[in-house]
Amino acid sequence: MQRFALVGDIVTAQEAKLVGLVQEIFGTNAQANERAVEFGKEVAAKPQAEIQAMKNSGPLARFPLMKLPAAIRDGCAELQDDNPNFEVVTNEVIEDCGRTGRPAALRLSQELWPHKSVSLVKCGQQMWRISLGMPKEDAQRKKPGNLINKAMLEGLLDAVVELHRSIGKVRLVEVRAHGDSFCLGLDKDLSEDDEQVQQMLFLFSMLPMPVLGVVEGPVAGIGLALCSTFDLLAADAQKATFAFRGVLPEKCGVFACNRCGDKKVSELVQSKAVLSAEQACLANLSTHVFRSKEELGEMVRKICAKVSLTGPNGVAVQKFFVQKMCTQPLNLERMKFLSGHISSRQMDPEFPDAIAGIIDKNHKPRYCRSAEDMVKPYGEDFMMPIR
């Protein structure tokens, strides 16, 4: 749902059924009404315990829908409150992660970036790219499979910290990798219990702009958890694979569970499944499958066009809102928060401008009024392989 909202997607009933938003499709209202009566009879015949197990709201809800790893859940003071503010949670995690990124004057520039195994570069108008690993031709490259070691972890943390502090300046982030693999897990100097590893994944999941992952090779272990934090995930039909062997649902694997569902991930882990790009799409892990550089390029241009129509401030607060509403059962306190959230959004100049664009199709909100306001990839060669 976050994916659809962040990029303003419009989906058909058939597409909604594929992702689980819709369970059944009918051709006419009469057919739908008949099915509703039939379903009511089916439910009425069920035992009370089975009916209660169907609930997804109120005190009987199957919550949390979104789980957090231990370092975030237990180590964040704000989360010990019964009514946590996830903007405060995110800022607390940034303060605790031990990385600050570069000073404000150098942020998002190419000056004094200290990391060799992670790059953060501009790859379009209001679009930035995080790249894992180093080019093959780099003689210093020693780690096959883009295993995340301490140095890469620090680079990833610095990159996400800078992006968290760049609301409005960066409206789309692309994550790619050098080499034949996207990421095959953690190096031996790290474990999934490492606090910084869990903080890095959480901060990726909370980035205040849409994140597009581009996978052109195998993914395994912590790489699968990392991919699960991206709002959009494009996978190469020929080269991308997703291995679930060794994924730990009780640790960093919670991000995969949030993405695909606890039951599905448990089955994939137990069977040591290796999914193709198409199978990953059916499992709700990937969102797009591409078969050529040209197809990927067109896909990215379409995503840029959609992102251009979404307000950057609204996108930035959406992840805080989604986490707030989905980590606890819906109750009166959260309903009050919902009304307060809408009220606070009305104070943002972006809000009435966006509403005017919905009411009047000829109205162009300020964040997409001119060519300079639109999110764009640079040139026709921007999708050239970086490996």
* pLDDT tens figures, 237-248: 999 999 999 899
* CA pair distance 93, 309, nearest whole angstrom: 30
Evaluate if residue 15 carries a pLDDT over 90: no
The rounded Cα 151 to chain-centroid distance in angstroms is: 23
* CA pair distance 164, 192, nearest whole angstrom: 23
Evaluate if residue 194 carries a pLDDT over 50: yes
Of all helices (H) and strands (E), which one includes residue 342? helix 332-346
Neighbours of 364 (CB within 10 A): 15
CB 116 within 8 A of CB 346: no
Tens digits of residue pLDDT in 316-325: 888 888 888 8
Question: Comparing C-alpha atoms, which of 86, 321, 131, 99 is closest to residue 199?
Answer: 99
Q: What is the pLDDT of residue 139?
A: 40
Q: What is the pLDDT of residue 57?
A: 64
> What pTM was estimated for this model as a whole?
0.88
CB 185 within 8 A of CB 146: no
**Cβ within 8 Å of residue 325, ≥6 positions away:** 334, 337, 338
Q: What is the pLDDT of residue 320?
A: 87
The rounded Cα 262 to chain-centroid distance in angstroms is: 17
CB 219 within 8 A of CB 227: yes
For the chain, helix (H) and strand (E) counts, in that order, are 16, 10
For residue 139, give the 3-state DSSP assignment: coil
Q: What is the pLDDT of residue 328?
A: 74
Average confidence score pLDDT of the chain: 89
The DSSP call for residue 127 is: E
Tens digits of residue pLDDT in 107-140: 999 899 999 999 999 999 999 999 999 876 454 4
Q: At which residue do the structure tokens 């040591």 appear? A: 272
* pLDDT above 70: percentage of residues in the chain: 93
* CA pair distance 163, 173, nearest whole angstrom: 9
Going along 189-300, which residue ranges are E strands? 211-215, 218-220, 232-236, 241-243, 274-276, 288-290
For residue 206, give the 3-state DSSP assignment: coil
Tens digits of residue pLDDT in 232-284: 999 999 999 999 998 999 999 999 999 998 999 999 999 999 999 999 999 99
Q: Where are the alpha helices (DSSP H) in 60-194?
A: 70-73, 86-96, 150-164
Q: At which residue do the structure tokens 């990798």 appear? A: 177
Give all domains of the chain, ordered by start, each with its CATH number: 2-54 (no CATH), 70-309 (3.90.226.10)
